[in-house]
Each structure stands twice: as C-alpha cells, then as structure tokens.
Amino acid sequence: MLHAEWKTSAHARARRSPLYVAMRDRSKNPVCEVCHAPLAGLTDPAELSVDEGVTCEACHAIRDVGDNAAEPQYTFDLQGNRKFGPYCDAKDNYFHKMGCAPAFRDARVCGGCHAFSMPLANGKSLPIITEFAEWRASSFGVSGTACQECHMPAETTHAATGTERKVRVAHHGFMGEKGEIVQKALGIVASAADHAGKLAVSVVLKNEGAGHAVPAGVPGRQVVVRVQALDEKGRAQAREERTIGRVLVDESGREVPFYAAIAEKRDERITPGETRTLAFELDAPRSGSVVIEVAWRSASPALAEALGVPAEERSMGKIEIPFGGQRTGKGREHLPKTVVARP
C-alpha cells in the first residue's frame, strides 16, 4: 500500500513527467538527474529502479543530510542493501536490514532535493527550488513542523498484506490521496458590491495551509484567479483573470524555463501566513451571478507553449455570489454593500 501511494506521486514520475522530459531534453544539463533520478549512475543501469525517478531505494538510501550548508547535502549509503528510515528501534520495521537515520524525522531529508540554485555567468546564483529555504524562515520552520506533517500524515494500517499487526505509517502520496492538499493551501473569501454602475469584486487569499510560498515548486507554476459575471441564463457577460507566480526571464526580458534564465523579473507568490487582496471591476448585467474560481496551474501559458507541453489545472476553490433578479426581484444595484462568501 505504501507502494500504491508512492505510485500516484510526482516522485514516481520524476524522470518521465512530460514537463520534465521537455525541459531536460532542451537544457542538456546532466545535473537534473541528481534529484530526478538520484540512483542513475550510482547503481547498475540494468536495475529497473534507476529509471523510476525518486524511488523507495533513493530516499531510503539517504544515510545522513548535512545541516550546515545553505543547501543541504546528502550522503547516500548503497552498501550492503541497508535501508535507512526514521526508526532506531530495529525490531519495529519491515526492512530486511535497517539503518537508523534521524534526518527522516525532520525536514532535512526533503531539503537535499527541495533546495536548488543555478549558477549564473556573473558569479551569482539564481534560486530555483525554494521550498526548504522558505519553510526554514517561516513559523513552521521555527516551530519545527516538518514537511512530513503536511505531506506524509501518519495513518494506522496493516504492517503488510495479510498481517493483523497494525503500525503507524506515513502516507507516501505526498499530495494527499488524490492531490487534494492543493485545496488546503489558500483560505478564500470573496465579496461583491455595486460600485458606480459596475460590479466591484474583491477576492482575499490567505496562505493558511502551506509551509512555504504558494504556488510552490518549479518557477512557472501559477495560481489563477478567474472572475466571471454571468447573466441569469449562465452566459458569461464579463471576465477577468489574474495570475500569481514567479517569473524568470532571459536577456530580452522574456519568460523562459529556469535553466535559460538570467534573472527574476517578479515574484508575486503568497508567503506563509500572508493575506493578499485582489480587486476586480466588471461590466455586469443587472442580475445574475459572479463566479470566482481559483486554480493551480502546472506551468504558465508562455512556458507551456514554448515547451510544447499542455498546462494542467487543479481547482483550489470556487465561489458563486448571486445578485438581483429572481432572488431579490431587483437589479444588482440592490446588492447589499458587500456579500461575503467562502468556498
């Protein structure tokens, strides 16, 4: 069952997700494999696990992670088929040969890969994967609430198929059963009011569920906020969209994949605990509804097009606020000063 959970995770696809393959092929940089296929080159290439990305073997071969460097460094131990894990009580495990690695209990075990910068020609470096650094600076890092608390919540299950013995195991899907963790990231509150003949919509986003900036991950990820005014038949009459993310650019100021970037143009991600208010003003019908959709997007449209890979979307929440018409018998000028709604 740990295996089935892991299979659904991006760790299992780390060497073959379409976005990764497109970027890896164009960057022609062998450094990618250090984290996306950590055992490539270290073990026999004929072994299946080498091609499977961030496998059980890869994580559980981490003997220690140095804590002094700005970016944590691993020590892999592939000797003697020992697997490392959080337990230092050798009886309570189902590895054949058990190694005790205290780093498994804290964020350092994630930090070795979830912290990455690229060297630039001017001698400086450009941060790329920033979750570990952001986490360390946040209240979660200060209180020692590790990545695992959110990404590997403990559940009680059978130790192995066919056994009655129950143990406490950490979920190995990393984004929840079906990726639903993405819906816990932002608290969303929306309000609408009539304003001088227009519909004024305010969307308040609070990063209350993530231990790092949102959207997390590789630069180019986006949070999309879409506001639409619909008439009573549900037809869109007006629409506006804003995106939140981090944009890296080349010499000409064009958004490019991180390996081709020379600078950060902007970073509008929402930091842990931060509240962001977005204001919209739409031409809207006298009656109908306003629909606010917040979605996670795997890559900005510019990057997706340049790489020839479709951008994926997942809902982070949706709010609908009806106004006027059958509900009140009046037009939207009779909308209360503000109508507040949550998903």
Which residue type sits at 31? V
What tokens appear for 121 in the block?
Answer: 């020609």
Pick 112 or 317: Cβ nearer ligand HEC:
112
Interacting residues of 100 by C-beta distance below 8 A, sequence separation 6+: 84, 85, 87, 88, 90
302's torsion region: left (phi>0), alpha (psi -120 to 50) or beta? Answer: alpha
Query: Under the criterion CB under 6 A, does residue 131 sit at the interface with ligand HEC?
Result: yes
Residues 254-293 that bind ligand HEC (CB under 6 A): 259
List the interface residues with ligand HEC, window 46-75 (CB under 6 A): 54, 56, 58-60
Q: Parallel, antiparallel, or unpaired: how do β-strands 62-66 and 73-76 relate? A: antiparallel
Provide the pairing of β-strand 116-119 with 125-129.
antiparallel
- 13 part of the interface to ligand HEC, by CB under 6 A: yes
Around 66, how many Cα atoms within 13 Å sit in the side-chain half-sphere? 9
Q: What CA–CA distances, in Å, run from 243 to 73, 240, 246, 282?
A: 34, 10, 10, 17
Least separation in angstroms between residue 239's CB and ligand HEC is: 24
Q: Choose which of 151, 246, 276, 332 interacts with ligand HEC (CB under 6 A).
A: 151
Of 2-10, 198-206, 233-241, 243-251, the window that binds ligand HEC (rule: CB under 6 A) is 2-10
Pick out residues in 166-225 that bind ligand HEC (CB under 6 A).
169-170, 172, 174-175, 181-182, 184-185, 209-212, 214-218, 221
The single residue among 14, 192, 224, 244 that binds ligand HEC, judged by CB under 6 A, is 14
Among 6, 84, 280, 323, binds ligand HEC (CB under 6 A): 6
**Contact window for ligand HEC (CB under 6 A) among 33-41, 194-202, 237-245, 329-337:** 33-41
Q: Is 227 one of the binding residues for ligand HEC (CB under 6 A)?
A: no
> What is the C-alpha to C-alpha distance for residues 79 and 96, in angstroms, rounded to an integer?
14
Nearer to ligand HEC, 54 or 319 (CB): 54
Exactly one of 43, 49, 145, 202 binds ligand HEC (CB under 6 A); that residue is 145
- Candidates 61, 101, 147, 284; binder of ligand HEC (CB under 6 A) is 147
User: CA–CA separation, 95 vs 100, rounded Å?
Assistant: 11
Number of residues that bind ligand HEC (CB under 6 A): 71
Q: Which residue has the tokens 């609070």?
A: 206
Assess contact for 201 and 293: CB atoms under 8 A: no
